[in-house]
Amino acid sequence: MLVTVDTGGTKTLIAPFGENGVVGESIKFPTPKNQNEYITLLRKTLEENFGDQTVEALVIALPGIIKDGVAVWCNNLEWRNFDIRSALSGVLGGTPILVENDANLAGLAETRVLDPMPVSSLYVTISTGIGTGVITDGHIDPGLRYSEGGRALVEFEGKVQEWEDFASGKAIYEKFGLYARDIDSEHTWSLIADRISRGFLAAIPIIQPDTVIIGGSIGTYFERYGTQLESILRQKLPSHIPCPVFQEARHPEQAVIYGCYYYALDSLAA
């Protein structure tokens, strides 16, 4: 059995995978903002549900920059230099604990299920914040694993801002007063497409991915703004830089846990 933990800015999802690769019954709880409260709740939940079972690996996904098992910085949770691997040491006996950025893991999962699998893909999750993951030849790109696309500095409404500050799900709600599920206006979705396009216009010429995959809570509604988004990019990208193929994530809300699963398999096989 493999146990995966998707720690989001608002909720945490825990899901086990059996030997057949099928995801089991998941557990959810609101993500505590306090690191100690998070560890206490997570440790208790893991011990109560999996403490008496054989777990080959525990994979923790966090929304931030992860280096050697340490969350250097998680923007929406405001966690800094959080050594989660040490904090969870021994939680399931000798089970190895793997820690990785959530968008990298989601990109890994969503790229692996594509047929044919692209050589290079850019995964973008748009939910509470914006996260990015670059996948090359079916693996998290080692040179770009610490990249934070949501932190890209873009000029919008007359000032330089981080992409996430005006195009994330949180920013969209603050601007329009509605969650994505409640937005029916084509005009509003056109405005949202424009906001989302700004970061892509900065990232695509640098990365030049074959495929872009959009996930997260806003990714769930890709059909409402995807056509407008691609139209903007085709109009504004330089003629010698092609617009990538855009895909909606197949598991927009579960991509991270599937990425945890693939990451564990790769790590155990190494």
More confident site: 256 or 9 = 256
89, pLDDT greater than 80:
yes
Query: What's the confidence (pLDDT) of residue 217?
Result: 86
One domain for residues 85 and 28: yes
Residue 230: count of CB within 10 angstroms of its CB: 18
Residues 262 and 228 in one domain: no
Q: Report pLDDT for 75.
A: 82
Confidence at residue 185, expressed as pLDDT on a 0 to 100 scale: 96
Number of domains present in the structure of the chain: 2
Task: List pLDDT tens digits, range 95-125.
Answer: 999 999 999 999 999 999 999 999 999 999 9
Alpha-carbon distance of 199 to 197, in angstroms, equals: 6
Q: What percent of the chain has pLDDT over 70?
A: 100
Q: Which amino acid is at 186?
A: E
Same domain, residue pair 15 and 95? yes
Mean pLDDT, range 236-258, rounded to an integer: 92
Rounded Cα gap, residues 270 and 257, in angstroms: 20
Q: What is the DSSP letter of 52?
A: T
Q: What is the CATH number of the domain that holds 193?
A: 3.30.420.40
Phi, psi of 155 (to 5 degrees): -80, 125
Concatenating the DSSP letter of every residue in 136-194 gives: ETTEE-TTTTT--GGG-EEEETTEEEEHHHHHSHHHHHHHHSS-GGG---HHHHHHHHH
Rounded to two decimals, what is the model's pTM? 0.92
Does 227 lie in the same domain as 129?
yes
Task: Enter the tokens of residue 255.
Answer: 């991509």
pLDDT tens digit sequence for 175-213: 999 999 999 999 999 999 999 999 999 999 999 999 999
Answer whether residue 107 is part of any domain.
no
Per-residue pLDDT band for 128 (boundaries 50, 70, 90) equals confident
Residue 109: inside a domain, yes or no? no
Peptide bond into 116 cis (omega under 30): yes
CA distance 180 to 56: 38
Residue range(s) defining the domain that contains residue 178 = 114-248
The answer as to whether 108 is a domain residue is no
User: Taking a C-beta distance cutoff of 8 angstroms, is the pair 176, 183 a contact?
Assistant: yes
For residues 49 and 125, membership in a common domain is answered with no
- How does pLDDT run across 50-81, given as a tens digit for each residue? 999 999 999 999 998 999 889 999 988 999 99
Is 75 within a domain?
Answer: yes
Q: Six-digit token pair at 31?
A: 């993500």
